[in-house]
Structures are given as structure tokens and as C-alpha cells.
Structure 1
Amino acid sequence: MTTTAEARPKLFTGQHLPLVLGVIGLVTLGAFENRAVGTALPTMVREFDALGSFGLANAAPTASYLISLAIAGLWSDRRGPIPTLRAGAVSFAVAQLLVGTATAMPTVIAGRLLSGLAEGLLDVSLMVLVARALPAVLRPRMFSLFAAMWILPSVLGPVLTGVVTEQFGWRWVFLGALALLVPSWLLLRPAMRQSAAGPAPERTAEDAAELEAWRAALPWALAASVALFTMTVAGDHLEAHPVLGGTAVLVALVVLGLAAVRVMPAGTFTARRGFPAVVAVRGLGGAAFAGVGAYLPLLLTLQHHFSPSRAGVTLSITGVCWALGSWLQGREHRFERVTVLRTGLAFMTVGLMVTAFLALSDATTWIGLIGWGFAGIGMGLSSSSLSVLTLDLSDRNNAGRNSSAGQMVATMSIATGLAVSGTLLAFNADDPQPWVFGTIILGGAALAGAGFLAAARVRRPPAATNLGRAGV
């Protein structure tokens, strides 16, 4: 007689193992590329004598990533995840070739734009592929693996990139990524064939209307991409041109707000029960965590006199603690998914409040870093839970759009938070006082607290799983 434990599907079995290994390979590859750029880019701009293009090269992927998410969501729902995944892999390969063989900075920037496009296509298509190829009970563990694959890139990525750059040249950082792309792709082929062989989803008139509404929102996603790009570039020049840069940031924020209204699911701003609340919580939590994490190395360098290498400890804490939180949510337990989500947001809120001790004095440095660790665990618990809830509240007709909507809102909210924080810091750039950093960190804690309150509305409303029309 078969027991319940024996009948329960397992992630690392012959049936699911190729998919798991292939996804692990692609996620790890993307994580290493993300971490490698930050290490190699200073060398690249010096070699090309193009220091002024540093901000542009950093901003390019964010802009293309946002419009890519919108395209990927629509494409994956209309044609399935395979064409989107294939386009993402090809775009990633071409991006690495462009950057790895570049002879001038414009080629690097073109490669970085294509890299952002590839990231959006891969992120959404992998989510949809997981939704179609894995039973729901395995999704929490799968998303915990997503987070775990960022540990080694976060801890070893900068060191490995530095060694490769010094010994062989920065070009091999990008060209070497192509060697890992091929085996990852081959491992995904069985799951891709399974997804392609599945029955085509039945579309109702309501589904068709939702697809049309999402397609109509694409120009607004493009406007949001341009606004994000403008904010990043203007922020880099805010100190030199405060009036012009400040005006550009303000106009970009207005455009971003208008675009957000068009591309967000209806009810996001009011955290309407069900999927809109999931999107709202993702935006609040993402802005809270990323908005604080971006400034911690600078805070440690200026206020606590850490060296650049020591200040990077926050990145290591982020990677390890995020993965730990994600692993915890993926374990078997008796708690509801919403309870796990709210626990994560509570950890993040309290952790960020403790992190604010970093803005006080040297005597509280390690207290603040411990608080940041708790915030990282909270982010791991909540982020992976939100991914699970997104698929739980989706079906084959809208999993792509729902996945891309959540990530788009997170991207826009993070960029908005960074623009506001960057403006605050820019007007105190000559001698930033501890209160500036304290304000940024406590502001993040307030956003996480708002996410904790909104998470109570995540539970599925009766007979409502679809994304719904764009707008509020």
C-alpha cells in the first residue's frame, strides 16, 4: 500500500530533475552576470576612457527590463513560455557577445540594454514554465532554490570576477557565461517539450478582453522604462546640475506614476483583496528592502570608515539571509502561506528598525548589521511566498501577465524609492549627516510595515483569480 509520504511528489526526482537543474543553471548564470558587471564595469570604462558613461551603462538594463516584462507577460500567455524562454536565452547570448567583444562604450551599452531585455524574458518565462511543469505543492521549494542560487554569486561573484579580470581580462567574464548557457538550455528541453505538448488553454471572452487591455498598456510600460532611465541618469548628475537634474527627476516621477496607474492590476493602490494585494505587497516590500540596501555600503564607508571590501559585507548578508528565509518558507509546515508572508514582513519591519542603529554611532555597528540580517530573512520569507501566491492566484491564461505585473510594480517602486532617497542624499552630498541615512532606513521600515498590513488582504476572494483590467 502506498503511503501519503511515498505518493507525495518530490523535486529532485527523475521526472523533475532536468527542469530543476536547468532552472538552477539559468538563475545562477543570471546572478553571476548581475554581480559580475558591478565588479568589471569600472575597469571597462577606464579602458575605453568613458567614465561619463558609467551611469548610462548601469541604467540601461533597468530601462529595457521593464518593457521586457510587459512583453514577456503578454507573449507567454498568448503563445506559452517556450518562445519567450527561447528569445530570452538568445538575447542573453547576444548581449554577452556584444559586451565581451566590444571595442567602444556604445557597444557595451547596447549589450547592457539587451541584457535587461533578456532578464525580463527569462524571469517571466521561467515562472510560467514552473507553473505548468511542477505541481503546486513543489513550487515553494522551487522558489527557495531560486533564492539559494544567489548565495554563491553574491559571496564569490565579485572575487571570481576580479580574479578573471586581473588574470585574463574583463572580456572573459562575459564570454565565459556562454559556456554555461548551453548545458542549462539542454536540461530544460524535457520540461519545455512537456509544456508544449500540454493542452492549449481555453480562452473566454473575459480572457480575450484582459489580453487586449494588457496589450494596450504596453506603450505605458515603454513610457515607464524611459522614465526609469531618465531618473537614473539625472540622479547621477544631480550634484553638478541640481536644478536641471531635479526637474528631470520630478518629471520622470510624474510619468512613472501615470504609467503605473495604467499597467498595475485594478485595485493595486487600495490593496484590493486577492491578487491586487499581492502586487501591492510586492511593491512595498521591494522598495523597503532594496531602497535601504542600496545605501548601506555608502553609510558604512562614510559614517563607520569601512573599506570598500568591508562595506561589501552587506551584500554577503543579503545573499545568505535572503536564501535562508526562502529556504524556511519552502519547508513543510502547518502555517498558511499568508501567515508565512506576514511573518516575513514583520521580520523585515523590525529588522530595518534595528538597522537604523547604523546611523547612530560606531558602537552600534554590529547591532545594525544583525538587524539587516533579520530584514534579509524577512525578505526571503516574503519574496518567495509572493511568487507562490502569484501562481496560486493565476491560471494558464494569465500566469505570464500576473508574474510580469508583480515584477514590474516591484521595479517601479524600487526605482521611485531610490530616486527619492538619492535626491535627499544629493542635497546633503557635501557632508551627509547620520539623520539622512536614518531617514532612509526608517522610511524603508515604514514601507515594510505598510506591506505587513496590506498582506492581510492577500487571501483569495471568492471566484476571483484573474489579473483583471489594467489601472486602479
Structure 2
Amino acid sequence: MSVVEENPRTSSVTMQRDGEGRWSELLTRDHLAATVTLCLGVALFAFNEFFISTALPTAVEEFGGAALLSWAFTLYLVFAIIGGALAANQKARFGARNTLVAAALVFATGTVIATLATGMPQVLAGRLLQGLGEGIIAGVCYALIPELFPPRLVPKVFGAEAIVWASAAFAGPLISGLLTEYWSWRAAFFVNIPAVAVFLALVVTIVRQPKDRKGAAGAIPLLRVLAFGVGILLISISNTAGNGYVTAAFLMMAIAVFMTAVQSDRRSPNSILPFGAFSMRTALGTGLWVVLLMPLAQASGSVYLVYSMQQSWDFGPTAAGFSSALMAMSWSATAIFVASLPSHAVRIRLMWAGPLILCLGLIGLTLAVGSGEYGLVFVGQVAIGAGFGISWGTLSQFLMDVSTREERDKTSALLPTLQSAGYAIGAALFGVTANTFGLDEDVSEQVLSLSLTIVFALACVIAAASLFFAIRTLRLTRRAPRAAQLK
């Protein structure tokens, strides 16, 4: 069994690999417990998302308050991002084990509150706590990957997590639907509790506390954390506004809040973001843009693909939902293939291909809704999943590698947080776009086709931007060794 004691002096994972790892090593005595722990941390987030999205409408029918349904998702997302922003600070302050235990208890408390709720206000309170706990868990689990595993196995860990996501996308709605239909929506909520119990036992077993953490972390940057949360909240609110001008105003306010928070963070000695985040002059900075823009572009399909299949081609919910599962399965299969490549250098060189294939997949969706050829939807979804599978795990590991030893935890915790932010921003942006071009209930087929075509075309542009940043990231990586040699 793998037992790791955190050491703030541990050097950052380097780009050198002592050979390539094998999948079977994840299941050996040295790594099995760590593999299960980190995959279970991902599973808490992934399965909870699909369980709740399936069961929550039934809870709304029982309690009433349909107007509050979107807030159950909004509050979860906002506090998950706040939790992710706090993760690195809390890990440095209290150690990974204590932080994960506390976050899991917060998540469990939220789950119990939502399960026993007698009205929508309690459900919302439970979802808020679930989001805060899961945001911290996801951030710390990412930060623990290079601590619990040797560099040669890190690609395999990301591949294993991709399998968890695909399993959640495929089985989550089915399990939750069966529990809700034949038992109760409360069962779909409560099923998280046994998983949390196992997760807690594994964390206590495999992660040891450091002997001395004094001075390892600065004060909690509460105002900046809240600013990031307010920015996401404004984006989420903008997506529910009925007036296009009001929506645009909320989005502009959100952008202003984000820019102010980022600038303030760069000047602070106790920053949330790693040094050089979003800079055009560092591989870390441009790589983070890719992490933000790829899910932002893919959010177009998450929000409108099932709707367009039901409205344009009369697909039923199950058949339309299969397209999302197809994307997840493609992501998982491709991630396993890439993680199995024998050369780390080849995986790095393939990073730019992910945004390219994502862009091609979104072009397929654009052509599908524009021409009425629904077969292109499935082709496009396979391509979108493959785009993420090719680059996502490698990109995540790469950004951890290029971070300094002192800031690796900040970078690691930022990755899942930035992914969630991308989805939130994308949902709002594409909502504004669709509404601007007339998308509404009972619109004509021509208006429906036009608005959705523009939505997916805009997603193609954003995916192309992520391709630009991916190529620049690789160019900056090649320049770095030359610059070091000249010195």
C-alpha cells in the first residue's frame, strides 16, 4: 500500500521519465489504494452530477418551486469553484489529509441535508455544501497525483479518471433514474454517503500528515475567492435573464470582476493563481487558456445538443441522451489509447491535435443543424470526445510539470476549477447567442436551425482559439531549453 507524507520541499515533477509505466502497476500493492482513492474522489463529483441532474426534477415536482431548479445547479457550481480556489491554500495550511477529510464531511453534510429536505430551500443549502466540499476534494486530488505516483504512471492515472467519467456519464443517469422511479429521488441523493465513507477511510490510510506545516500558507485570500465566485454567479444569472441587454450587462460585469480579481491576485504575495497564469509569454499561461477554452467551446453541445435533436429530428430523451454518452465513451477510449503510448514526448507533441479534433467535431455539429443531417451529430460527438481524450490528461500533467515546486499545488487545484468555469461561461455565452437570434419555445424550424447553427459556429471559433494557444504552448516549450542553453 502506498503511503505518502507530504513534503513541502519535494521538487516538482520533471519532464524526464524513468521509463514508461504499465497499466497493471496501478493495481499493484504499492499503488492500488492511491488509485482507488483518487478515482473515487473524481467519482464523487462525476456521479453526483449525473445522479442529481436526473433526480432533481422529481424533487421539484414534490416540493414545487420549479423556478428554483436552476439555482440548485448554479449554487453547486459557484461553490465548487470557490472550493477549488481554496484547495491549494487549505492543503498548504492543514495538509492534504485533514483538508480532504473536512471537505468530505462538508460534502456528506450537504448530501444529508438535501436527502432529508422538506422543501427547496433545504435542497439548495445541501447543494451549496456539496459544491464547496467537492470543489476542494477535486482540487486536492489533482494536486496529490504527482505526489502519490511516480511520473511514469501519471498518464495512466489520468486515463483511469477518464474511465470514471465515461462510466458516470453512461451509468449515472440510468442508476439514478431507476432509484428515482422505483424507490425515491432521495435514494439517488443518499447513495453518495457510502462512497464518502469509503473515500474517508482510504484518505486516512494512505495520506499522512506532515510533521510541521507552520508558515506553509498565507492568510486565506477571502475577498479574491469571493470575487471569483461572484463572477461565476453573475454569469449564471445572466443565462436566466429574459432580456438580451440585461444578459449582456451581467456578462460585462462578470468580465470586469474577473479582470479586477486576476490583476489583484497578480500583485498579491499570497496569490491564488500560479505565477504567469494566462500570460502569453509562458507555456503555463497559454496552457491554462487551453484548459479554459476547450470546455467553454464544448459547452455548446452540453447545453443545446440534446434540445436540438429533440426539436429538429424528434429524437426521444433516451436516444438524444445517447449522444452525450457517446462523447464520454470516445473521450475515455482515446484517453486510454494516448496514456498507453510508449513515449511521453509523443504525447506532448500530440497536445495540439486535441483542440484541432474538437474544432472538427464542432464543425460537424454546425453542419448537422444547418443541413438537417443528424448522422453528423454522432460523428461530431465522437470527434469531440476524442479531442479531449487526446490532449486533456497530457495537458494537465504538462502544466503540473512546468510549474515551479512551490506553485505546483496551485496549478493542480486550478485545473478542475478552470474546467468548471469554462462550462459555466460557455453556457451563458451560448445562451445569449441563441436568444439573440430568436431561439425560444414554438419558433419556426428556420429560426431554430439558424440560431443553433450560429451557436455551434461560435463554438468552432472558440475551439480554434484553443488550438492557437495549444500550438503556442508547444512553441514556448521548445524555446525554453534553447533559452536555458544560451544563458
TM-score category, normalised to shorter length: 0.7 to 0.9
Q: Secondary structure of the equivalent of 1:272?
A: coil
Q: Report the CA distance shift for 1:265/1:188 in structure 2 as closer, same or farther (over 3 A).
A: closer
Among candidates 454, 458, 463, match of residue 443 of structure 1:
458
Mark the runs of 5 or more structure 2 residues left unpaired by the alignment. 1-17, 266-272, 482-487
Q: Report the CA distance shift for 1:201/1:177 in structure 2 as closer, same or farther (over 3 A).
A: closer
Deviations 1:411-446 (A, max 9, x none): 334322321211122231332432322222222222
Partner of 1:177: 192
Q: Which moved more, 1:17-26 or 1:165-174?
A: 17-26
Q: Structure 2 CA distance, aligned partners of 1:258 and 1:353?
A: 34
Q: Structure 2 CA distance, aligned partners of 1:458 and 1:378?
A: 17
Q: Secondary structure of the equivalent of 2:25?
A: coil
Note if 1:373 corresponds to 2:382.
yes
Partner of 1:382: 391
How far the C-alpha of 1:146 sits from its partner, in A, is 0.8
Matches for 1:189-338 after TM superposition, within 5 Å? 189-193=204-208, 196=209, 216=221, 218-236=222-240, 238-239=241-242, 241-263=243-265, 265=274, 267-334=276-343, 335-338=345-348
Note if 1:70 corresponds to 2:85.
yes
Partner of 1:469: none
Partner of 1:343: 353
Q: Report the CA distance shift for 1:6/1:222 in structure 2 as closer, same or farther (over 3 A).
A: closer
Deviations 1:369-424 (A, max 9, x none): 21221111111222211221122123553222112333443333432232121112
Q: Structure 1 CA distance, aligned partners of 2:406 and 2:93?
A: 8
Q: Structure 2 CA distance, aligned partners of 1:78 and 1:85?
A: 12
* 1:115 aligned partner, one-letter code: Q
How far the C-alpha of 1:29 sits from its partner, in A, is 3.0
Q: Structure 1 CA distance, aligned partners of 2:405 and 2:59?
A: 43
* 1:353 aligned partner, one-letter code: I
Q: Report the CA distance shift for 1:201/1:327 in structure 2 as closer, same or farther (over 3 A).
A: farther
Partner of 2:15: none
How far the C-alpha of 1:254 sits from its partner, in A, is 2.9
* 1:224 aligned partner, one-letter code: F
Q: Report the CA distance shift for 1:12/1:395 in structure 2 as closer, same or farther (over 3 A).
A: farther
The share of aligned pairs that are identical, in percent, is 24
Q: Report the CA distance shift for 1:435/1:87 in structure 2 as closer, same or farther (over 3 A).
A: same
Q: Secondary structure of the equivalent of 1:371?
A: helix
- Asked if structure 1 preserves the Cα contact closer than 8 Å seen for 2:81 and 2:135, the reply is yes
Partner of 1:30: 45
Note if 1:416 corresponds to 2:418.
no
Partner of 1:355: 365
Partner of 1:406: 415
Q: Report the CA distance shift for 1:392/1:368 in structure 2 as closer, same or farther (over 3 A).
A: same
Q: Secondary structure of the equivalent of 1:103?
A: coil
Partner of 1:18: 33
Partner of 1:433: 448
How far the C-alpha of 1:269 sits from its partner, in A, is 4.3
Partner of 2:102: 87
- Asked if structure 2 preserves the Cα contact closer than 8 Å seen for 1:287 and 1:414, the reply is yes
- Asked if structure 2 preserves the Cα contact closer than 8 Å seen for 1:42 and 1:54, the reply is yes
- Asked if structure 1 preserves the Cα contact closer than 8 Å seen for 2:239 and 2:427, the reply is no
How far the C-alpha of 1:44 sits from its partner, in A, is 0.8
Q: Report the CA distance shift for 1:165/1:4 in structure 2 as closer, same or farther (over 3 A).
A: closer
* 1:388 aligned partner, one-letter code: Q
Deviations 1:109-154 (A, max 9, x none): 0111111111211111111222211101100000111111022221
Q: Report the CA distance shift for 1:243/1:137 in structure 2 as closer, same or farther (over 3 A).
A: same
Q: Structure 2 CA distance, aligned partners of 1:59 and 1:405?
A: 19
- Asked if structure 2 preserves the Cα contact closer than 8 Å seen for 1:88 and 1:119, the reply is yes
- Asked if structure 2 preserves the Cα contact closer than 8 Å seen for 1:27 and 1:146, the reply is yes
Q: Secondary structure of the equivalent of 1:433?
A: helix
Among candidates 123, 129, 141, match of residue 114 of structure 1:
129
- Asked if structure 1 preserves the Cα contact closer than 8 Å seen for 2:361 and 2:380, the reply is yes
- Asked if structure 2 preserves the Cα contact closer than 8 Å seen for 1:25 and 1:180, the reply is yes
Q: Report the CA distance shift for 1:82/1:396 in structure 2 as closer, same or farther (over 3 A).
A: farther
- Asked if structure 1 preserves the Cα contact closer than 8 Å seen for 2:101 and 2:200, the reply is no
Q: Structure 2 CA distance, aligned partners of 1:4 and 1:224?
A: 40
Give the total of aligned pairs. Answer: 448
- Asked if structure 2 preserves the Cα contact closer than 8 Å seen for 1:291 and 1:444, the reply is yes
- Asked if structure 2 preserves the Cα contact closer than 8 Å seen for 1:288 and 1:447, the reply is yes
Q: Secondary structure of the equivalent of 1:247?
A: helix
* 1:168 aligned partner, one-letter code: W
Deviations 1:35-68 (A, max 9, x none): 0111111111111111111111110011111211
- Asked if structure 2 preserves the Cα contact closer than 8 Å seen for 1:136 and 1:392, the reply is no
- Asked if structure 2 preserves the Cα contact closer than 8 Å seen for 1:253 and 1:416, the reply is no
Q: Structure 1 CA distance, aligned partners of 2:259 and 2:435?
A: 22
How large is the RMSD of aligned CA atoms in angstroms? 2.8
Partner of 2:150: 135
Q: Secondary structure of the equivalent of 1:14?
A: coil
Mark the runs of 5 or more structure 1 residues left unpaired by the alignment. 464-472
- Asked if structure 2 preserves the Cα contact closer than 8 Å seen for 1:92 and 1:115, the reply is yes
- Asked if structure 2 preserves the Cα contact closer than 8 Å seen for 1:348 and 1:377, the reply is yes
